[in-house]
């Protein structure tokens, strides 16, 4: 994102036209490093976001309500005290720095003064500072007053600009001309490393636009031109950057502020989506490791009891040969009459016990191992069923494309006790999450977003509707509403593509089973999403087909 001095200068011009003469009505701090100011411009009310977060820094208009903390942070209270009702007189950049200055005329019952709210948009060094007469009244991020501090940011300290870089200020035409005289090699890299206030992408734009002539005059004219055509570039639905000048294939916007708001909104939504995805996958992996450990313990106990039949055999052989044994023997060799070859088997004995007591000890050991094996069998079955269920969750979470998809998965994991339930909000009930809904040639096609939705989809479908599921793979359940009609091949192929897209399979040819819903059964007591089915046929599903056809609801 080119939050450089070039872009900020254009941003300041735009904000000045919109806000000059406006009056501050309300100030909030919805996030730790973000201030939201509601301003009445005389024609309408706008909300200005000043963000000092390292990845989202910027100053732009936003829409929609944000949740604010119950107790306002200190910096927010300071701004309310000094800026409530203040009039914005001017918005400008400070020199050719990445600093926006909001000049404010503040009037109280007893005095009037001029204050400046600085927004330093400098990546991880971004900050918001309120000053009066060149003295800092408060800052979002302060520094400690030690001898190693290069720039003191504390209330009462004098406001000084950040130390300048060892680069040429492009507003100095003579210095710029001297710098650019006889430039050779990579022009974009030279501009970025030697000219102040340019991001790499801005330097590349200037180099690409230059076609000959006086280079210094061209660079100066390009940087300080007021021409603006804001846009946002995207890649497969994900925003990649925003620009003040139009790029090929980019999405245009009326204002730079709108472009920034769109970019940051989409970027935050994506970050939230990926954060939720990681949290849910981590919960599933933790539960999976727990079940794997439990299964390993069960299998180890089963291995320890694997010789139960041999133990029983030894007891029987001892009982059959009591006459030939005596107390004090430590072992014996007896003919195994169960062996057709009549081989002998060596049996260890306790010298302190009689032959009969040794035989009973072997029978007790056998009974204990048998009881253990009988108890472990259902535990193993339950554990393997849990593991199969957990395996079905991973593709659901991984294939989620929207917040709705992940909310459906999160609700399922919460119901299973795999993640903690979020605190309930009084008077607010989360709306029901709809199925993924498509339409192809007049046939509605539905796909579940989670195992719970998969079960509900089957229950809500008519007996003659067509049900689809990836063969031998975890996938979403897909249903074609037929209303008694025969399903065309193109509709079946599309539904199979949807099923393949939301499955654990890879590639363009994924086997998908389909059958009437009446052939689908859910075994009693089975986990969510598990069904059995009969009378099916198999088609090949191409995930690319899922991108075709009208999406009614997502």
Residue 429: what pLDDT? 58
Are 519 and 534 spatial neighbours (Cβ–Cβ below 8 Å)? yes
In whole angstroms, give the CA distance from residue 443 to residue 368: 61
Same domain, yes or no: 440 and 347: no
Do 130 and 9 belong to one domain? Answer: yes
Classify residue 547: in a domain, yes or no: yes
**Beta-bridge partners for 239:** 234
The whole-number average pLDDT for the span 372-397 is 92
CA 445 from centroid of its chain's CA atoms: 27
**363 within domain boundaries:** yes
Place of tokens 């957990």: 390
On whether residue 43 sits in a domain, the answer given is: yes
471 in a domain, yes or no?
Answer: yes
CATH code assigned at 56: 2.30.310.10
Domain count, the chain: 3
Residue 238, domain member (yes or no): no
Contacts of 231 (CB under 8 A, 6+ apart): 242, 243, 245, 246, 247, 250, 251, 252, 253, 259
**Per-residue confidence (pLDDT) for residue 361, from 0 to 100:** 96
Residues 357 and 450 in one domain: no
pLDDT band, very low/low/confident/very high, at 148 (cuts 50, 70, 90): low
Q: Confidence band (pLDDT; 50, 70, 90) for 68? A: confident
Mean pLDDT of 471-496: 93
| pLDDT band at residue 218 under the 50/70/90 scheme | very high
CA dist list (Å): 93 to 56, 119, 137, 245, 424: 19, 9, 20, 19, 44
Residue 549 scores a pLDDT above 50: yes
pLDDT digits (tens, 9 = 90+) for 71-104: 889 999 999 999 999 999 999 999 899 999 999 9
State how far the Cα of 234 lies from the Cα of 402, in Å rounded to an integer: 17
CA atoms of 9 and 100, how far apart (whole Å): 8
Same domain, 353 and 455: no
Q: Does 248 reside within a domain?
A: no
Identify the domain boundary among 139, 171, 193.
139
Which residues 6+ apart lie within 8 Å of 286 measured at CB? none
Residues 364 and 455 in one domain: no
Residues 517 and 440 in one domain: yes
Residue 67 lies in a domain: yes
In a domain, 44, yes or no: yes
CA distance 554 to 403: 10
Q: For residue 520, what are the domain limits?
A: 436-553
- Please state the rounded mean pLDDT for residues 426-432: 59
Residue range 46-62, pLDDT digits in tens: 999 999 998 889 999 99
Regarding whether 130 and 9 lie in a shared domain, the answer is yes
Are residues 452 and 373 part of one domain? no
Alpha carbons 478 and 496: distance in angstroms, whole number: 8
Section 258-268 average pLDDT: 91
- Determine the 3-state secondary structure of 398 from DSSP: helix
Domain final residue pick, 117, 139, 161: 139
Compute the CA torsion angle 79, 84, 88, 93 (nearest 10 deg).
10
Over residues 473-478, mean pLDDT: 92
State yes or no: pLDDT of 431 exceeds 70: no
- pLDDT recorded at residue 554: 42
Query: pLDDT class for 400, splitting at 50, 70, 90?
Result: confident
Same domain, 448 and 530: yes
Question: Is 11 in the same domain as 127?
Answer: yes
Predicted confidence (pLDDT) at residue 23 exceeds the cutoff of 50 = yes
Distance set, CA 330 to CA 231, 259, 346, 348 (Å): 90, 89, 11, 6
Q: What percentage of the chain carries pLDDT values higher than 70? A: 96
Q: Cα–Cα distance between 100 and 140 in angstroms, integer? A: 15
Asked whether the beta carbons of 83 and 27 are under 8 A apart, the reply is yes
Encoded tokens for 443? 């046939």
Going by pLDDT thresholds of 50, 70 and 90, the confidence category of residue 185 is confident
Check whether residue 359 and residue 453 sit in a common domain.
no
What is the Rg, in whole angstroms, of the alpha carbon atoms belonging to the chain?
36
CA distance 272 to 278: 10
């Amino acid at each position: 994102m080119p939050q450089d001095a070039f872009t900020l200068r254009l941003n300041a011009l735009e904000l000045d036209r919109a806000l000059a003469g406006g009056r501050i009505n309300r100030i909030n701090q919805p996030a730790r490093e973000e201030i939201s100011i509601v301003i009445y411009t005389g024609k309408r009310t706008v909300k200005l976001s000043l963000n000092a977060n390292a990845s989202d820094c910027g100053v732009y208009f936003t829409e929609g309500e944000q949740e604010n903390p119950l107790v306002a942070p200190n910096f927010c209270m300071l701004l309310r005290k000094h800026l409530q009702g203040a009039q914005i007189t001017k918005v400008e950049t400070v020199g050719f720095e990445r600093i926006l200055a909001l000049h404010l005329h503040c009037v109280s019952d007893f005095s009037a003064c001029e204050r400046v709210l600085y927004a330093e948009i400098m990546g991880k060094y971004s900050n918001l500072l309120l000053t009066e007469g060149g003295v800092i009244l408060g800052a979002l991020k302060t520094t400690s007053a030690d001898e190693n501090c290069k720039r003191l940011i504390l209330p009462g300290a004098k406001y000084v600009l950040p130390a300048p870089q060892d680069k040429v200020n492009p507003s100095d035409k003579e210095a710029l001309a001297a710098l650019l005289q006889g430039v050779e090699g990579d022009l974009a890299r030279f501009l970025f490393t030697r000219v102040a206030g340019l991001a790499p992408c801005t330097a590349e734009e200037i180099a690409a636009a230059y076609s000959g002539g006086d280079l210094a005059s061209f660079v100066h004219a390009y940087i300080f031109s007021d021409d603006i055509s804001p846009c946002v570039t995207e890649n497969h639905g994900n925003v990649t950057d925003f620009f003040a000048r139009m790029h090929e294939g980019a999405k245009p916007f009326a204002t730079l502020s709108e472009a920034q708001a769109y970019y940051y909104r989409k970027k935050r939504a994506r970050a939230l989506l990926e954060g939720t995805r990681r949290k849910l996958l981590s919960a599933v992996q933790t539960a999976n490791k727990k079940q794997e450990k439990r299964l390993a313990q069960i299998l180890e106990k089963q291995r320890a009891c694997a010789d139960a039949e041999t133990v029983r055999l030894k007891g029987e052989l001892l009982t059959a040969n009591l006459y030939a044994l005596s107390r004090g023997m430590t072992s014996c060799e007896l003919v195994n009459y169960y062996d057709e070859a009549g081989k002998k088997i060596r049996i260890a004995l306790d010298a302190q016990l009689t032959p009969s007591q040794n035989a009973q000890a072997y029978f007790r050991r056998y009974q204990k191992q048998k009881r253990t094996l009988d108890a472990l069998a259902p535990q193993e079955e339950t554990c393997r069923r849990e593991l199969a269920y957990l395996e079905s969750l991973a593709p659901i979470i991984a294939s989620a494309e929207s917040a709705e998809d992940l909310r459906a998965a999160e609700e399922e994991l919460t119901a299973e006790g795999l993640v903690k339930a979020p605190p309930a909000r009084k008077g607010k009930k989360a709306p029901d999450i709809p199925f993924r809904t498509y339409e192809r040639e007049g046939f509605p096609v539905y796909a579940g977003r989670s195992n719970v939705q998969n079960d509900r989809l089957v229950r809500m479908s008519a007996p003659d509707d067509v049900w689809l599921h990836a063969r031998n793979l975890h996938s979403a359940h897909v249903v074609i509403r037929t209303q008694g009609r025969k399903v065309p091949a193109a509709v079946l192929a599309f539904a199979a593509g949807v099923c393949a897209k939301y499955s654990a399979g890879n590639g363009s040819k994924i086997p998908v089973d389909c059958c009437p819903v009446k052939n689908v059964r859910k075994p009693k007591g089975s986990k969510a999403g598990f069904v059995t089915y009969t009378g099916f046929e198999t088609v090949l599903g191409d995930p690319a087909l899922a991108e075709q056809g009208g999406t009614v609801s997502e």
